[in-house]
Amino acid sequence: MPIQVLTSDVANKIAAGEVVERPASVVKEIVENAIDADSTSVNVDLRAGGKRLIKISDNGIGMSREDALIATERHATSKINKIEDLESIQTFGFRGEALPSIASVSKLELLTRTADQLEGTKITIEGGNVQSVEESGCSPGTHLSVKNLFYNVPARLKFLKTETTEMNHINNQVMWAALAHPSIAFSLRHNDRSLLNVRVCESVIERVRLLYSKDLAEGLIEIESEQSSFKIHAFIGNADLTKSNRNYQLFFLNRRPIRSKVVSAALNEAMQSFIAKGRYAVA
């Protein structure tokens, strides 16, 4: 076959495969956008494990009509504009890939308004093609509905797991975001049932109490340490609070959840003389 440049439709769908693997990836990207937009409240509402509907509403800075129209184009971002910006990123996003990727593999409705606009903008997109752009009333912030994810990518659709499995992944994403951002209120609903609902908190400990339990929050010891190039802020469970697996060990780097064998091993080594064999610290 001769070499040809792919049409933007094909290129977008391929790029979408890298960003959107499952409903939880959509939730992660949209929640990160809401956090980048200075929201103090983020509400996630789902149907059928996010396969039928993912609705996420924030009260952040919103977008003007002009910005909303560009936001769903590839490589459109307000977060960086020159190569040096990559060295000092303060936001979650920077690629300008998330919204166009999600839009190309779903039926998307974007409703958004800035605080100083009277009317909001509603844009509907199907499989990456803009269907309509109209004025529409809404509260300041951004309200996204992602319907029928992968309706036009049968191979992806086939590999989605059960509602329960997809919900577990989504639940993790929202829990991690809620732990890393205590000053933002979060709610998560699935099929009209509330799974998580936490108000704005003053501290991580208060957030832990709301997300887990009073006992767990009270058993944590707060540690803060500063080196020349990094700061550590940790919460480590006392010796009475151990678990039989590592599921209660979470690590974040710049508020992003990470997995790190090195940090995990350091924690275990530091704690091993305080806790019984086969038990794991909460952190």
Q: Count the alpha carbons within 13 Å of 134 in the hemisphere toward its beta carbon.
A: 6
Considering only 49, 50, 93, 120, the residue that binds ligand ATP (CB under 6 A) is 93
Nearer to ligand ATP among residue 98 and residue 188 (C-beta) = 98
The reply on whether position 34 binds Mg ion by CB under 5 A is no
The reply on whether position 248 binds ligand ATP by CB under 6 A is no
Q: Please give the Cα distance from 146 to 121 (Å, whole number).
A: 16
The reply on whether position 33 binds Mg ion by CB under 5 A is yes
Cβ within 8 Å of residue 198, ≥6 positions away? 178, 185, 186, 187, 207, 210, 211
Phi then psi for residue 76, to 5 deg, are -100, 120
Considering only 25, 77, 124, 249, the residue that binds ligand ATP (CB under 6 A) is 77
Residue 217 binding result from ligand ATP, Mg ion, none, given CB thresholds of 5 to 8 Å by partner type: none
The reply on whether position 60 binds ligand ATP by CB under 6 A is yes
- Written as six digits, the tokens of 262 are 């090195």
The reply on whether position 63 binds ligand ATP by CB under 6 A is yes
Element at 196 (helix H, strand E):
strand 193-198
The reply on whether position 268 binds ligand ATP by CB under 6 A is no
* Residue 102 beta carbon to Mg ion: minimum distance, rounded to whole angstroms: 10
The reply on whether position 29 binds ligand ATP by CB under 6 A is yes
From the list 212, 261, 207, 263, the residue with the least C-alpha distance to 241 is 212
Provide the mask over 138-177, with x wherever binding to ligand ATP is found by CB under 6 A and - wherever it is not. Answer: ----x-----------------------------------
Phi then psi for residue 107, to 5 deg, are -105, 110
The reply on whether position 279 binds ligand ATP by CB under 6 A is no
Query: With CB under 6 A, what is the number of residues at the site for ligand ATP?
Result: 22
Q: Please give the Cα distance from 72 to 98 (Å, whole number).
A: 8
The reply on whether position 25 binds ligand ATP by CB under 6 A is no
Q: Please give the Cα distance from 190 to 51 (Å, whole number).
A: 11
Cβ atoms 149, 50 nearer than 8 A: yes
Considering only 76, 157, 196, 250, the residue that binds ligand ATP (CB under 6 A) is 76
Q: What is the dihedral of CA 16, 128, 146, 148, to 10 degrees?
A: -90
Q: Which residues bind ligand ATP (CB under 6 A)?
A: 29, 33-34, 37, 58, 60-63, 71, 76-79, 93-99, 142
Q: Which residues bind Mg ion (CB under 5 A)?
A: 33, 93, 98
